[in-house]
Amino acid sequence: MPELPEVEVTRLSLAAGISGATILSATLGKPLRWPLGVEPGRLTGQRVLAVRRRGKYLLFDLSAGLLLVHLGMSGSVGFASGLAEAGKHDHFDLQTSQGTLRLNDPRRFGAVVFASSEADPVAVKLLGRLGVEPLGEDFDAVVFYQGLQQRKTAIKQVLLAGELVVGVGNIYASEALFLAAIRPTTRANRLSRPRVLRLQAAIRQVLARAVEKGGSTLRDFSNAQGESGHFQLEAMVYARQGQACRQCGTAIKSLRQGQRSTFFCPQCQKP
């Protein structure tokens, strides 16, 4: 599933190319997770002013509105001139004066949604409850610690919920907890302040490194130029169950938490 680094990598790979473009047409394929919310023709003639990211959403600032794009479980966005005819997994095309933006999503859990602004109830519903950005200045370690003190659930589940800090998905939660030497099943409110400080730093480090490596391509993720990510090649625990820990040699273990697979080293990560 594309997580924050993959979305940020996508943004970086298309923002310069599409910014300033005029929308010539918008074409919808099969239904996605949520409806567009307007007739596609309403987008025609608008200019793309900038491309931002909030959590796992790409935000396209238009001259008269906002387009929110979510990659879902299997989506990727391409941007190029002269794209071939849309295939069966291509469900949204935005043709512009500078190239065509295309959403490919085999499982169709992604979405493209129009809102008049971030204050629009449609945008508030999608973005309003998201936590702070982990790579931004607002991700304060003391505030993070205070928030964790109010949570009695496992720390891995708290990270995935995205209410305190947004975008730390399954891959990167496992990796950050390993780097911070914290067992993923540890209750959040049992973590001491020094351990939370290490975790906050680990989250920043892991996500920044993932962006640097182009994200993780486990199945079909690629950036807007069709390039795969390589962070998965240096993962310490994710998807390495049964293999030797790169740090101590102990076999990596896996378990299920909230219907998601979790990976950890029983020696390096303490409850």
Is 133 a domain residue? no
Question: How far is Cα 225 from Cα 123, in angstroms, rounded to an integer?
Answer: 28
Statement to judge: residues 60 and 171 lie in one domain? no
Six-digit token pair at 57?
């959403």
Is 111 a domain residue? yes
Q: What total of structural domains would you count in the chain?
A: 2
| Complete edge-to-edge strand list for the sheet that includes strand 76-80 | 23-28, 90-96, 99-104, 76-80
Catalytic residue selected from 33, 42, 260, 266: 260
User: Which 3 state secondary structure label does DSSP give 197?
Assistant: helix
User: Which 3 state secondary structure label does DSSP give 200?
Assistant: helix
Active site residue 56: yes
Is 258 a domain residue? yes
Statement to judge: residues 108 and 177 lie in one domain? no
User: Is residue 190 scored above 90 in pLDDT?
Assistant: yes
Is 271 a domain residue? no
Catalytic residue selected from 11, 53, 56, 102: 56
Active site residue 125: no
**pLDDT for the residue 186:** 98
**pLDDT for the residue 98:** 97
Question: How far is Cα 196 from Cα 143, in angstroms, rounded to an integer?
Answer: 10
Mean pLDDT of 133-153: 97
**pLDDT for the residue 82:** 80
Who's near 88: CB < 8 A, 6+ residues apart?
none
| 58-93 pLDDT per residue, tens | 999 999 999 999 999 889 999 999 887 888 999 999
| 153-175 pLDDT per residue, tens | 999 999 999 999 999 999 999 99
Which strand (E) or helix (H) includes residue 3?
none
Is 130 a domain residue? no
User: Is residue 52 scored above 90 in pLDDT?
Assistant: yes
Six-digit token pair at 253?
């273990």
Six-digit token pair at 46?
């608008």
**pLDDT for the residue 83:** 80
Question: How far is Cα 169 from Cα 159, in angstroms, rounded to an integer?
Answer: 7
**pLDDT for the residue 86:** 87
Statement to judge: residues 112 and 212 lie in one domain? no
Is 112 a domain residue? yes
* Residue 199 CA to its chain's centroid (Å): 19
User: Is residue 102 scored above 80 in pLDDT?
Assistant: yes
Six-digit token pair at 50?
């900038």
Statement to judge: residues 74 and 105 lie in one domain? yes
**pLDDT for the residue 84:** 78
258 falls in which pLDDT band (50, 70, 90)?
confident
Active site residue 204: no
Mean pLDDT of 203-232: 92
148 falls in which pLDDT band (50, 70, 90)?
very high
**Global pTM value:** 0.93
**pLDDT for the residue 91:** 95
CB 142 within 8 A of CB 64: no
29 falls in which pLDDT band (50, 70, 90)?
very high
Active site residue 2: yes
* 54, β-bridge pairs: 57
**pLDDT for the residue 221:** 86
Burial class (CB in 10 A: 0-12, 13-18, 19+), 28: middle
Is 269 a domain residue? no
Provide the total of helices (H) and of strands (E) in the chain, helices listed first. Answer: 6, 10
| Domain extent for 42 | 4-124
Statement to judge: residues 194 and 249 lie in one domain? yes
Residue 54 phi/psi, 5-degree rounding, is -135, 110
38 falls in which pLDDT band (50, 70, 90)?
very high
Mean pLDDT of 235-262: 96
Q: Which residue has the higher pLDDT, 246 or 82?
A: 246
**pLDDT for the residue 22:** 98
